[in-house]
Amino acid sequence: MTKEVVVTRRGQTTIPTEIRRKLGIQEGSRLKVEAEGDRVILTKVPSLFDLAGTSDSSREEAFKQTLANEDKTVAKLRTGTITREFNVIDVDSQIAEEGAEMSHRLRIPMADSLIMATAKRYNLACVTDDPHFSEVKRIWV
pTM: 0.43
Nearest residue to 111 via CA among 130, 129, 124, 127: 130
Q: Residue 63: its pLDDT value, please? A: 67
* Helices 93-106, 110-121: crossing angle, 10 deg rounding: 120
Q: Residue 139: its pLDDT value, please? A: 53
Q: Residue 56: its pLDDT value, please? A: 47
Instruction: Determine the topology of domain 1-45 in CATH.
Output: Pemi-like Protein 1; Chain: D (2.10.260)
Q: Residue 111: its pLDDT value, please? A: 85
Q: Are 86 and 52 in contact (CB under 8 A)?
A: yes
Q: Residue 24: its pLDDT value, please? A: 81
Mean pLDDT by runs of 10 across the 141 residues of the chain is 91 92 82 91 73 53 70 77 75 92 88 87 78 61 39
Produce one character per residue of 76-85: b if its CB has 16 or more CB atoms within 10 Å, e if not: eebbeebeee
Sequence ranges of the domains in the chain: 1-45, 48-85, 93-140
